[in-house]
Structure 1
């Protein structure tokens, strides 16, 4: 039986070096104060679904579950239109259209995951803290209508990074990492029971 050739040590070393180079390039695009708290950066497939791939992977699913994430986010918005209409400045249908796709595979820019709008939905639907890092938007998203549990910060913090102005990657942060600020919109539209999020994690913000 013929077997495929095993990668040589040199090719494996080259692959590791390329990965380290990419990680360094990505890391330099995030705020200086937070770089020391980044333990790892994990890339995903580049196909216009990368943002949803990062969320799927960070939730513990395979990144190929990106279509399910799209569908669940759209359903969440549909079920709570009144809430998200305020958060999105009455732009609900535009956000929902960005989630809906006519075919699997690569997607155009109009179907990319967009923040801050979808950040509120992701945090609320999955009851997680979502941290988004980039050159221009560094923000922490808490759920809009769910109270924090004692172990939420340890077990349910998802961190993502927008790099090269066109791609999302997964980020693993250290537990003592300072968090970017929340938005005024979250403070304006979160329920009374969820305002304790910011209090609970004030030492991180």
Structure 2
């Protein structure tokens, strides 16, 4: 991961600090993204250094949550590739317009306990976007994924050719805003679940 951020091996504490600052400066947004204060606190704890030496398991990088922190802080598209058909997703910055320069940070999750930097070939297939990004990105970031749709589509086609599981084809979906204060717009419906 250090290589992907353009920093040396000795910079891991600086990266933790960068991510902790990002987390705290945008606390309200991340509490919402992570689904509450409990998960936020787990992420915050993971970024808080515990001492010198090997990191305990509760201090390891947690995905998908930290994918969004990395994407926003370093203005990169973060790609997580899981091994053995594991979880693989893209994390785009949650705010800000896309840049013309391609900035990809690809991390491979190996052996269930280690991340390594993967250098991708130009225009290679990319996994689909995290559904959390679709739900939580701000208006100015909605076009960030457009540049990569053909590569995500190629990844789905590759999975199909290998009879792999396709989670979904990436389709741009409009955001729907529902005003829950309008009680008249919500009509209760009674459903009888008893069998005849």
Q: One fold, TM greater than 0.5?
A: yes
1:145 aligns with 2:95: yes
Match of 1:203 among 145, 150, 166: 150
CA RMSD of aligned residues (A): 1.0
Distance in 2 (alpha carbons) for counterparts of 1:63 and 1:204: 31
The structure with the larger Rg is 2
TM-score normalized by the length of structure 2 = 0.73
- Judging by fraction of residues, say which structure has more helix: 1
Measured in 2, the distance between the counterparts of 1:63 and 1:139 equals 25
Alignment partner of 1:73 is 2:19 = yes
Higher relative contact order (CA 8 A, sep 6+): 1
Tell me if 1:103 matches 2:57: no
Pick the aligned partner of 1:186 from 133, 150, 156: 133
The match for 2:65 is: 117
Q: How does 1:79-98 map to 2 (within 5 A)?
A: 79-90=25-36, 91-98=39-46
Name segments (4+ residues, structure 1) moved above 2 Å. Answer: none
1:171 aligns to 2:121 (yes or no):
no
Match of 1:62 among 8, 15, 23: 8
**Count of paired positions:** 148
User: Unaligned 5+ residue runs, structure 1?
Assistant: 1-53
When normalised by structure 1's length, the TM-score is 0.70
